[in-house]
Amino acid sequence: MSIDLSKLKAGAVKERSITVDKNQTTSFLWEGENVLSTPSMILEMEETCRLLLKEQAIPQAEWDSVGTIVDVKHLAATPVGAKVFLKARVTSIDGRRVMFDVEAHDELEKIGEGRHERFIINVPKFRAKFEEKQKQLEMKNI
Out of 38, 62, 68, 131, which one is annotated catalytic? Answer: 38
Interacting residues of 44 by C-beta distance below 8 A, sequence separation 6+ = 18, 84, 86, 104
Answer yes or no: 38 catalytic.
yes
Catalytically annotated residue among 44, 48, 74, 78: 74
Catalytic residue among 44, 46, 103, 117: 46
Phi-psi region of 128 (alpha: psi -120 to 50; beta: other; left: phi over 0): alpha
Report the catalytic residues: 38, 46, 74
